[in-house]
Chain A
Amino acid sequence: MNQLLEQLRICVENGKENRTSPYPPQMKNQDGANELAKQALDAGVTPGDILNLALVPAMDAVGQKFAENKIFIPQMLLSARAMSAAMIHLKPFFQSGEVKRKGVVVIGTVMGDLHDIGKNLCSMIVEGAGWEVIDLGVDVKPEQFVTALDTYPDAIVGLSALLTTTMVNMELIINSIREKYPQTKVTVGGAPLNAGFAAKIGADNYSKDPVELTGWLEKIAV
C-alpha cells in the first residue's frame, strides 16, 4: 500500500493532527494528518482512496480499541480531530460528488433538551466512520427533522436526550417523521435511555455509545 496512506492511517489512529501538535509525544515534530493528506493528494492518490484506505480504517481501529476499553473518549476525540484535519483537504471532492460517503445521518438533541456533548461525540465518530452528518443542534423540533429529510430523503435519523422529561419527546418526533417518511430508520441514545424504551417508542435502534452506533449503521447500510 502507498506509504503516505499508511502514515496517514497511523496519524489518525494515534491522534496526530499536524506537525505542530504536541500529541502524541512520541510523534513530536513529525508530519500529521493535515500535511500527509495534502501530500497524498499532491502525489496523485485519489480522494476516495484517502478516505477508504486510510481514514476510515484508522477510525475503525480507534472504535475497536474503545470497545475493548484500551482507549477512552479523550483519545477517540484526538483521532477525530486528526481525521477532520485530513478531511478539510477532501471537502471539495465531497462537494463535487467525486467521493461518495456511506450515507447521510441527520442527528439532533430533541426539543426541550439542550445537552449536546454526547450528541457531538456521536456526530464526530459517525463522520469518522465515513458518513455525512447533518447536525441539527439542540432543542430540535419534529418539523426540523422532517425538513432535513425533505433534503436528504434517504438519511438515517439519530435522536439524543439526556433527561427523562425530554426523552418522551422522541416518540413525538418519530411519529412526525413516519407520517411523511414511513421507511426512515431512527436510532436513539442518551444516558437515561435503554433498548426497551427505544422499542416502545418505535425506534429502530438504541446504542449506548457512538461505537455501537457505527456498528449498527454498518449493518443497515446497503
Chain B
Amino acid sequence: MTAFTQFNIPLRELAVDPQAAAPMLGYDSDLPEDILAMVREVMDKTTDCYDIRGGYYILDGLTFDNDEHSLLVEGTNFQTGKIIFHQLKHSEQVALFVCTAGVGIEKWSKQMMTNNDPLAGFIADIMGGVVVEAAIDKIQQSLSNDMKDKGLKITNRYSPGYCGWQTAEQHKLFALLPDTLGIRLTESALMQPVKSVSGIIGIGANVQFNPYTCRLCEATHCVYRYKKVSSIR
C-alpha cells in the first residue's frame, strides 16, 4: 500500500462554471440571465464556506473473480456488479478515493432555507454538489497525469450506489481509507458532510477511459443523462 495522496483544494483553483449547475436546477439548456445572476451571487457569498479535501490510496495485488463480478484487494472483497467489474478487470492497480466540499456549504444552505430564502438555499445545496464533483475531477486529473508519466492509463471513476454497485459497500471502502479527511460514514452508508463522493478508479496499461460515462449507467431518468462528458484527459 502506498501513502494516501491528499489534496486540500482552494475553491478558486476549481474555477467552477455556474452553468454546470443548470441540469441540477432543472434546466435542459443554459441558465437564463436572471437565474445565472442569482447563482453567481450565491457563489460569491459562499466562497468561505468551502473546505475542500480529498485524496486516494493506490493499491495493488488485485484478484478479480469473473463469476462473482468481484474484486479482492487488501483482504476486502468488493462486489462491484457486472458493469463496473468489466471496466476494472484489466487493472493492475486501483485508486480508492474520497472527496468532500466540507460541512460549511450545507450549513449555509440550511440557514437560508430557514431564513426565508429558499432559492438561495437550494442553489447553495446544488453548488455544493457541483463543487465536490469539480474537486474530484481535479484529483482524478492529477492521478491521470502521474500515471501517464509512468506509461499507465486510468479508468473512469466509479462509486458505490451507481451501476449496480450497492451503496452499502461504502462500508468496505471506508474501512480501507484513512480518517484524516474528517469524512464520517453513518450506519446507513451516508457520508457526512453530505457533499462528499467516494469510489474507485482502475489503473493499468490496458484499461480504458470513456468520456461518455452515461452510456454505461442504467439510471435512465437521471438529470445528468448524456449531459456529462468527462473533462479528464
- Chain B residues near A23 (CB, 8 Å)? 34
Say whether B118 contacts A163, CB under 8 Å: no
Within 8 A of B (CB), among A146-170: 163-166, 169
Task: For residue B123, give the distance in angstroms from its CB to the closest CB of chain A.
Answer: 7
Say whether A120 contacts B34, CB under 8 Å: no
| CA A72 to CA B29, docked complex, whole Å | 12
Per DSSP, are chain B's interface residues mostly helix, strand or loop, or mixed?
A: helix
Of A74, A114, A163, A164, the residue contacting B122 (CB under 8 A) is A74
| CA A165 to CA B169, docked complex, whole Å | 10
Tell me whether B168 is interfacial, beta carbon within 8 Å.
yes
| CA A24 to CA B167, docked complex, whole Å | 42
Tell me whether B212 is interfacial, beta carbon within 8 Å.
no
- Chain A residues near B110 (CB, 8 Å)? 116
Tell me whether A73 is interfacial, beta carbon within 8 Å.
yes
Within 8 A of B (CB), among A12-33: 23-25
Within 8 A of A (CB), among B29-47: 34-35, 38
Say whether B190 contacts A166, CB under 8 Å: yes
Q: Are A165 and B188 also in contact (CB < 8 A) when A24-B34, A73-B26, A120-B113 are?
A: yes
**Binary interface profile of A, 171-186, with partner B (CB < 8 Å = 1, else 0)?**
0000000000000000
**Binary interface profile of A, 26-62, with partner B (CB < 8 Å = 1, else 0)?**
0000000000000000000000000000000000000
Say whether B119 contacts A81, CB under 8 Å: yes
Task: For residue B193, give the distance in angstroms from its CB to the closest CB of chain A.
Answer: 9
Task: For residue B29, give the distance in angstroms from its CB to the closest CB of chain A.
Answer: 11
Task: For residue A3, give the distance in angstroms from its CB to the closest CB of chain B.
Answer: 27
| CA A84 to CA B118, docked complex, whole Å | 11
State how many residues of chain B have any CB contact under 8 Å with chain A.
29
Task: For residue B186, give the distance in angstroms from its CB to the closest CB of chain A.
Answer: 7
Q: Are A78 and B190 also in contact (CB < 8 A) when A24-B34, A72-B27 are?
A: no
**Binary interface profile of A, 106-144, with partner B (CB < 8 Å = 1, else 0)?**
000001111111001100100000000000000000000
Tell me whether B109 is interfacial, beta carbon within 8 Å.
yes
Tell me whether A80 is interfacial, beta carbon within 8 Å.
yes
- Chain B residues near A85 (CB, 8 Å)? 116
Tell me whether B166 is interfacial, beta carbon within 8 Å.
yes
Of A72, A114, A120, the residue contacting B190 (CB under 8 A) is A114
| CA A170 to CA B78, docked complex, whole Å | 27
**Binary interface profile of B, 16-36, with partner A (CB < 8 Å = 1, else 0)?**
000000000111000000110
Of B27, B123, B168, the residue contacting A165 (CB under 8 A) is B168
- Chain A residues near B26 (CB, 8 Å)? 72-74
- Chain B residues near A74 (CB, 8 Å)? 25-26, 35, 38, 119, 122-123
Q: Which of A25, A72, A117 has the most CB of B within 10 A?
A: A117
- Chain A residues near B123 (CB, 8 Å)? 74
| CA A121 to CA B25, docked complex, whole Å | 12
- Chain B residues near A116 (CB, 8 Å)? 110, 113
Q: Are A112 and B119 also in contact (CB < 8 A) when A73-B25, A74-B35, A164-B166 are?
A: no
Of B109, B118, B190, the residue contacting A81 (CB under 8 A) is B118
Q: What would be 29 A-B contacts, judged by CB atoms less than 8 Å apart?
A: A23-B34, A24-B34, A72-B26, A72-B27, A73-B25, A74-B25, A74-B35, A74-B119, A74-B123, A77-B118, A77-B122, A78-B119, A81-B118, A84-B116, A112-B190, A114-B186, A114-B190, A114-B192, A115-B194, A116-B110, A116-B113, A117-B125, A117-B126, A121-B122, A163-B167, A164-B161, A165-B168, A165-B189, A166-B188
Nearest 9 pairs between A and B by C-beta? Answer: A112-B188, A72-B26, A77-B119, A117-B125, A165-B189, A73-B26, A165-B167, A77-B118, A165-B188
| B interface residues with partner A (beta carbon < 8 Å) | 25-27, 34-35, 38, 109-110, 113, 116-119, 121-123, 125-126, 161, 166-168, 186-190, 192, 194
| A interface residues with partner B (beta carbon < 8 Å) | 23-25, 72-74, 77-78, 80-81, 84-85, 111-117, 120-121, 124, 163-166, 169
12 extra A-B contacts, CB within 8 A, seeds A77-B122, A121-B118, A163-B167: A74-B25, A112-B187, A115-B194, A116-B113, A120-B113, A120-B118, A164-B161, A164-B167, A165-B167, A165-B168, A165-B189, A166-B188
